[in-house]
Structure 1
Amino acid sequence: MCDTLIASKQATSDNIAIFAKNSDRPPNEGQHIVYVPAQSHAVGSRLKCTYIEIPQVEKTHAVLLSKPFWMWGAEMGVNEHGLVIGNEAVYSKVPANKTPALLGMDMLRAGLERAVTPREAVQVIIDLLEQFGQGGNSASHGETMYYHNSFLIADANETWLLETVDRQWAAKQITDVYSISNCFTLGGQFDIASTELVENAVQKGWVKSAAQFDYAGNYSDFIYTNFGKGRVRRATTTSLLETKKGNVTLESMMGILRHHDDEHYDPQNSVAVMDVCMHAGFGPIRGSQSTASLVVLLDGNTPLIYATGTSAPCTSIFKPMWMDTASSLNLGPAPASKYDSASTYWAHERLHRATLLNYPERIKTYAGDRDELEKKFIQESRRLAKASAKERAEFLVQCFDEAAQAEADWLKRVEAIPARKKALHSIAWNTFNKKSEMPPVH
């Protein structure tokens, strides 16, 4: 379960497009930031994706990815040309293919590595989808997730939405603001589509005629789409974007990713709550959490990237980086499924999981400091937009060091506040912590 947003340049306060995404994945699935430089490849070479091999192209672009540790693909990312892509799991009456093929995350990464513009990326993904199909388990370590994919694809000047079901698809160019979640959003209007998309719905009896076709209405399933609350979360993000339209800022995008519907939010109070900023809990509905968050300022030059590199944006700090400084990142060992104190991702989990033990009171101890530190990072990174790569790289390292020190201090504050443990929530997190070999959380 994820949420992906775009504010086109005409919708922002300074006429610069902004992309944002929360990646919601299993709690113990480490997700890390990876930089892959541009490369040349031998003619006729092959590329091993997560499950299958496909032909490699002769040249791939440099990419910065946020990716689960075990797969080739990525949940979200940006390339050297300022192209960004985020994907969503969507669920259909058409069963998702369980046979290993391309994951949605594989197609996302391929789009970033092989395309320069959003429209080119749409075509890259369509071509791969039609030739190799999508399918296979999208989870690891004994868990299972099978789904179709939608993609929000953007750069400084253009945004496309691509929604797929098996090897069928439809795409539409987007203006102003838009958000996608775990549900189809296209109706009967789109710019391009696969030849059998509408015909298949008519043949299945899901719609009486092509003239009445509605993609979301005809192809959506009932159970996963409704219980995953994709439509509810999308309604929330759309409303928040519409309210800010014409004045969307980096801070407001980050605020949307941190959104909880209830100002007195407590993740221990329900087994069914699934907010934009998602925290795992008891039961199958709450098996995911926001394991990474990304916001990208798309000015048409070098994209200014803000990533948490850690889970739960409400407990995390967005740190700035640029493509040409990404090699300066030192996040420790790539996080896997087991706790590692040297990993930036897992070190933060101590703070995140401790905060959940009394969220209403514990988040108050550092939310204000989080916002102030982040504000400083944003102001200085924007000031450094035209500075040398060396100067920006030094600032990147400084930001990550300051964030790590701040989180260590916040953990002490949090643990000074009494924990409040409710039975079902404790059962869930005791299980998560045991599987990850997390040290005791107080």
Structure 2
Amino acid sequence: VIGNEAVFTTERREPEPGLLGMDLLRLALERATDRHGAVSTIVDLLERHGQGGSCSRAHPSFTYDNSYLIADRDGAVVLETAGRRWATEEVTGPGRSISNGLTIAGFAEAHAQRVRSTVAACAVRRARTQPLAEAATSVADLFGALRDHGPTPSPTWSKVNGALAGPCAHAGGLVTATQTTASWVADLRGDPLHWATATAAPCTSTFKPVRVEAPAPRPGDDRATDRFDPEVGWWRHEALHRLAGRDHAAAVARFAAERDLLEARWLAEPPATGDAFDEAERH
């Protein structure tokens, strides 16, 4: 399992585009069989081809480097990059968070672009996610960690970068309008099972069981664009999410208990993926 985050570094951009972080992630998943193989795959491609290119449809000149949290059944490793440079660190504690910033001692001090990392709220958010990850003892705890808004139950807003105080980000801000567009928890114990929202804002979403070996495409998802479409599940939920944003505390209070009960039932006896998505829509 690989998660990647944008990081902002002092490395100069190369004149020709390289591979994007998502390219490297997908190639590692395709070619590697464990975390060490994934690191080797990414590092080899990074050193040969570099990284970079347009990372935003709305802002084609926007680009960044990447950090990766790579896990298999036996452990996890952090891989951080700056241009073609890289560093790794095995995860030795009960949890690890990366949160849009370089975190490996020595490498971070040498390569972090501090202004952009500050705007991305890396340190603020990681101060929340690291202890939540370390304290988690169940899949449900990880659901809760991804729903965290920072020091308050509902989002706190900054005029500069919106609601980036916690991992459950809601769009807003003058400099960046970052929003959590989907959330994923991977349980690699025993028979692996993944839990995905497939919708924005995990606080207003349910985590549904997903099986990699049994894809369950949803009707209409193949036609999804950046425009609202009531035939697309992500956009149907986004209408609810934006309505809830008018009074987040009141909205979540109305459905949080039902959401949590539904997830508890699914965790105890995971349904087929399609059935879970259908039931979530009915709720």
Q: TM (normalized to structure 1)?
A: 0.60
Structure 1 counterpart SS, 2:171:
coil
Contact 2:160 2:173 in 1 (8 A): yes
Amino acid at match of 2:168: C
> What's the counterpart of residue 221 of structure 2?
333
What is the CA distance between 1:168 and its match in structure 2? 0.9
Is contact 1:98-1:146 (8 Å) kept? no
The counterpart of 2:99, out of the listed 165, 181, 189, is 181
Is the 8 Å Cα contact of residues 289 and 312 (structure 1) preserved in structure 2? yes
In structure 2, the CA distance between the partners of 1:266 and 1:122, relative to structure 1 (3 Å rule), is: closer
Offset, 1:94: 1.6
Specify the alignment match of 2:31 in structure 1: 114
**Matched-pair contact (CA < 8 Å) for 1:183–1:225:** yes
Per-residue CA distance 1:159-183 (angstroms, 9 max, x = gap): 1111111111111221231111111
Unaligned runs of at least 5 residues, structure 1: 1-83, 188-213, 382-391, 407-442
1:266–1:131: structure 2 CA closer, same or farther, 3 Å change rule? Answer: closer
Equivalent residue letter for 1:186: I
Mapped to 2, the partners of 1:313 and 1:134 lie a distance apart of: 30
Cross-structure match for 1:361 = 250
What percent identity do the matched residue pairs reach?
37
Evaluate the alpha carbon distance shift between residue 226 and residue 282 of structure 1 in structure 2; reply closer, same or farther with a 3 A threshold: closer
Give the structure 1 partner of residue 278 of structure 2: 401
Q: Which residue of 2 aligns with 1:410?
A: none
Partner of 2:267 in structure 1? 378
2:21 to 93, 104, 122: 104
* Partner residue of 1:217 out of 103, 109, 132: 109
Question: How far apart in 2 are the matches of 1:122 and 1:258?
Answer: 29
Rounded Cα–Cα distance in structure 1 between residues aligned with 2:145 and 2:173: 24
Q: Which amino acid aligns with 1:147?
A: Y
Distance in 2 (alpha carbons) for counterparts of 1:131 and 1:252:
40
- Return the offset for 1:264: 4.9
> Higher strand fraction: Structure 1 or Structure 2?
1
Question: Over aligned residues, Cα RMSD in angstroms?
Answer: 1.8
Return the index of the structure with the highest Cα Rg: 1
Per-residue deviation, 1:310: 0.5
Compute the displacement of 1:361 (Å). Answer: 1.3
Question: Partner residue of 1:281?
Answer: 172
**Residues 72-117 of structure 1: per-residue CA shift (max 9 Å, x gap):** xxxxxxxxxxxx0001111112234474221001000000011000
1:405 Cα deviation from its structure 2 partner: 1.1
- 1:251, distance to aligned residue in structure 2 (A): 0.7
Verify the 8 A CA contact 2:187 2:194 in the aligned structure 1: yes
- Distance of 1:311 and 1:225 partners within structure 2: 23
The CA distance in 2 between the partners of 1:181 and 1:249, in whole Å, is: 21
**2:8 — aligned with what?**
91
Tell me which residue corresponds to 1:294. 184
8 Å contact kept, 2:149–2:156: no
Closer, same or farther: CA 298–138 of 1 in aligned 2, 3 Å: same
User: 1:267–1:281: 8 Å Cα contact kept in structure 2?
Assistant: no
Structure 1 letter corresponding to 2:180? S
Deviation, 1:256, is 0.6
Deviations 1:26-56 (A, max 9, x none): xxxxxxxxxxxxxxxxxxxxxxxxxxxxxxx
CA separation of 1:228/1:268 partners in 2, compared to 1, >3 Å: closer, same or farther? closer
Amino acid of the residue matched to residue 277 of structure 2? F
- Give deviations 1:186-221, integer Å, cap 9, x for gaps: 11xxxxxxxxxxxxxxxxxxxxxxxxxx21112111
Once the two structures are TM-superposed, the CA of residue 228 in structure 1 deviates from its matched residue by 1.0
Task: Measure, in 1, the Cα distance between the counterparts of 2:279 and 2:212.
Answer: 21
- Per the alignment, residue 228 of structure 1 pairs with 120
What TM-score do the two structures reach when normalised by structure 2?
0.93
1:323 deviation in Å? 1.9
Contact 1:102 1:136 in 2 (8 A): yes
In the other structure, the counterpart of 1:124 is 41
Contact 2:5 2:66 in 1 (8 A): yes
The one-letter code matched in structure 2 to 1:292 is A
The alignment status of 1:139 with 2:56, answered yes or no, reads: yes
Task: Tell me how far apart the structure 2 counterparts of residues 268 and 126 of structure 1 sit (CA, whole Å).
Answer: 37
